Amino acid sequence: MLRFLRTRLQQGVRTGAFPGGAVELPDRFRGRPRLNASKCAQCERCAASGVSGLLTVTEQGRPLLDVGECRFAPEETAACPQGALRFTREHAMASRTREGLRSETGDVQLATALAQRTRKLFGRSLRLRSVSAGSCNGCEGELIVLGTVAYDMARFGIEFVASPRHADGILVTGAVSVNMREALMQTWAATADPRLVIAAGVCAIDGGAFRGSPEVSDGVPAELPVDLWIPGCPPHPLTLLDGLLRLLGRIESGEARPR
Ligand code: SF4
């Protein structure tokens, strides 16, 4: 027992400083994409590269960067001969609206807090039922990391629960396969009002690599009102936690402290 306690003391605090301080990210981290519109020749090589619909050209002839469609793959930036497209080190990119993920440069309308009345009803906690609706399990891997000592989301009162009856909302991953669609709808129906819908990962946002397949619904079905869109493939734990805390009004208001 004493040896155990000594080891724990030697290990010290392993939980990251976020959101109170900076978190060291590995060199390979690829954050929110950014477009230098003045360098973009609108040559459509991005679309031709076939990696995603990340960058398109509007009817007005302006580039449109959709962070929701980004797969954070090196091929996406490598396709641009001008070097106009690059990944930043910015982890914050969750938005309350799908439109908020689209812009000319990669700027995102970062998530705003839920209405005060809803937050009051939820109290100081947020319980979510995770629904893996055809995911490759990459997103689930990152959700599990949120519960580890490194991120410890429980210190903010955020937890995953086994039953939708105990949940304040659902967090959906995967492109929503035909076989999972009914289960997803039933899970949502079993969650009490007011309830949240969170789409995490490019698959849940718009189908990702499976988009257009008759076997998927191209992400969260339109019948479900999504409250938070979290880009990534998979989303980094920091991106997930940042989005959830913004939704709870605990970053915007400077209250990003444990319970
Ligand atoms: S977004 Fe990426 S990691 Fe998540 S389910 Fe889709 S392919 Fe897998």
Residue 151, pLDDT score: 94
Ligand 1 centroid to residue 81 C-alpha, Å: 27
Which fold, 33-90?
Alpha-Beta Plaits (3.30.70)
Which residue, by CA, sits nearest to atom 2 of ligand 1? 233
Can you read off the two tokens belonging to residue 176? Answer: 């929503």
C-alpha to C-alpha distance for 34 and 86, rounded to whole angstroms: 6
Pocket of ligand 1 contains residue 134 by CB under 6 Å: no
Ligand 1 centroid to residue 257 C-alpha, Å: 30
- Rounded average pLDDT over 12-30: 87
Q: What share of the chain has pLDDT > 90, as a percent?
A: 69
- pTM of the entire predicted model: 0.92
Residue 88, pLDDT score: 96
Give the start-to-end residue ranges of the domains of the chain: 33-90, 116-247
Residue 61, pLDDT score: 78
- Rounded average pLDDT over 77-99: 92
Is domain 116-247 in CATH 3.40.50.12280, yes or no? yes
Residue 41 has pLDDT above 80, yes or no: no
Ligand 1 atom with least separation from CA of 135 = 5
Residue 209 has pLDDT above 70, yes or no: yes
Ligand 1 atom with least separation from CA of 138 = 3
